[in-house]
């Protein structure tokens, strides 16, 4: 599908490719993302996933307004459910997912970035939940994930005013991990992806699951989840190898199990 480019490898990349519509997400793109994520999930050779937008203007400027304009209630509900499924699938992928935000990340675009584990942003990136200006509210998870990530006060202001913010503010608020010059976005994102790919894939998977628990569980349950996960790792090859390598002062050779 030409609206989505998937480059497969140990570090795989999904590029939303509708630059003329600033990479807006329509049903077809969301369904194609679902299909690609299913393949990624079942391919043990993929260690890190990068998500970005084609062109130099937008990551994703939101859900496709032209497509939503004629939707009635049933289609609207189906569309939000599809979007939620896609964002949930990103969150539930067992590998780290990095959003490389090259430009506008608005509405569904910010919601897509929020479903990723890490965000690297170009100095040109602009974020926001402008749905209020269309007479709607965020529909791919923004009302829940944004306050979790940047706090209720700021999320309320952003969702109620629809105002945009820049990458520097996103970094100060704990949304963005790093801001880089536009021409450094892909090199810096790949550098981070390579660093992650050099770790034990199995330990990373457990770290991601435990970090997810911090967002989805009560603290007591999350702390128990961490204990059980930590304990479980002591049965695994990479824990034995990692500690042995440290004590022998050499690089670990991970088996990813
Ligand atoms: N859906 C469909 N098309 C979009 C789009 C979107 N979300 N965003 C931009 N486009 C299209 C424009 O219609 C325009 O198409 P034409 O050339 O055919 O007219 C093209 O992309 C370029 O956009 P602009 O001419 O508007 O570019 P600009 O530089 O003047 O403005 C912008 C850039 C500020 C990002 C502006 O395009 C804009 O405000 N876009 C809409 C952002 C938005 O409201 N996003 C939220 C969508 S709702 C949502 O996402 C709901 C949800 O949570 C699920």
Q: Which of 23, 62, 127 to mutate to test the pocket of ligand 1 (most atoms within 8 A of CB)?
A: 62
Within 10 A of 173 (CB to CB), how many other CB atoms are there? 16
**pLDDT per position as a tens digit, 44-83:** 999 999 999 999 999 999 999 999 999 999 999 999 999 9
pLDDT for the residue numbered 196? 98
Domain range 4-197, CATH class:
alpha beta
Domain boundaries defined on the chain: 4-197, 201-247
The rounded distance, in Å, linking the Cα atoms of 196 and 244 is 20
CATH fold, domain 201-247, is Lyase 2-enoyl-coa Hydratase; Chain  A, domain 2 (1.10.12)
pLDDT for the residue numbered 12? 98
pLDDT for the residue numbered 123? 98
The rounded distance, in Å, linking the Cα atoms of 194 and 191 is 5
Kindly tell me if the per-residue pLDDT of 40 is higher than 90: yes
How many residues are there in the chain?
Answer: 257
Residue 21 CA, distance from chain mean position = 21
Binning pLDDT at 50, 70 and 90, where does residue 14 land? very high
Q: Given the CA of residue 129, which atom of ligand 1 is nearest to it?
A: 46
pLDDT for the residue numbered 25? 98
Task: Output the CA–CA distances (angstroms, integers) from residue 25 to 39, 51, 198, in the order listed.
Answer: 20, 13, 32
pLDDT for the residue numbered 257? 92
The rounded distance, in Å, linking the Cα atoms of 96 and 60 is 20
Q: Given the CA of residue 142, which atom of ligand 1 is nearest to it?
A: 53
pTM of the model: 0.97
**pLDDT per position as a tens digit, 103-150:** 999 999 999 999 999 999 999 999 999 999 999 999 999 999 999 999
pLDDT for the residue numbered 33? 98
pLDDT for the residue numbered 238? 97
What is the Å distance from ligand 1's center to 250 Cα?
A: 52
Active site residue 111: yes
What is the Å distance from ligand 1's center to 24 Cα?
A: 7
pLDDT for the residue numbered 237? 97
The rounded distance, in Å, linking the Cα atoms of 119 and 95 is 15
**pLDDT per position as a tens digit, 179-207:** 999 999 999 999 999 999 999 999 999 99
HSE-up of residue 96 (Cα within 13 Å, Cβ side): 26
Tokens 């791919």 correspond to what residue? Answer: 140
- Average pLDDT score over the chain: 97
Kindly tell me if the per-residue pLDDT of 37 is higher than 80: yes
pLDDT for the residue numbered 162? 98
What is the Å distance from ligand 1's center to 163 Cα?
A: 14
pLDDT for the residue numbered 124? 97
Average pLDDT score over residue span 17-39: 97
Q: Which two tokens stand for residue 209?
A: 């699951």
């Amino acid at each position: 599908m030409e609206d989505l480019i998937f480059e497969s490898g140990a570090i795989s990349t999904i590029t939303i490719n509708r630059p003329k519509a600033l990479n807006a997400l329509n049903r077809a793109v969301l369904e194609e993302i679902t299909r690609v994520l299913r393949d990624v999930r079942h391919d043990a050779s993929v260690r890190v996933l990068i998500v970005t937008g084609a062109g130099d203007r937008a990551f994703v400027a939101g859900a496709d307004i032209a497509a939503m304009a004629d939707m009635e209630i049933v289609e609207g509900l189906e569309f939000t459910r599809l979007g939620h499924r896609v964002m949930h699938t990103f969150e539930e992928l067992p590998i780290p997912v990095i959003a490389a935000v090259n430009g506008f990340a608005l509405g569904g675009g910010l919601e897509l970035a929020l479903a990723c584990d890490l965000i690297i942003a170009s100095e040109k990136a602009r974020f926001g939940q402008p749905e209020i200006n269309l007479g709607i509210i965020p529909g791919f998870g923004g009302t829940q994930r944004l306050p979790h990530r940047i706090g209720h006060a700021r999320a309320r202001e952003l969702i109620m005013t629809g105002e945009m913010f820049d990458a520097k503010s996103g970094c100060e608020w704990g949304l963005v991990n790093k801001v880089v010059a536009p021409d450094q976005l892909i090199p810096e994102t790949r550098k981070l992806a390579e660093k992650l790919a050099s770790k034990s894939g199995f330990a990373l998977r457990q770290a991601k699951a435990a970090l997810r628990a911090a967002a989805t569980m009560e603290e007591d349950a999350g702390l128990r989840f961490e204990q059980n996960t930590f304990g479980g790792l002591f049965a695994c090859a990479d824990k034995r190898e990692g500690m042995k390598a440290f004590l022998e002062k050499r690089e670990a050779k991970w088996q990813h199990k």
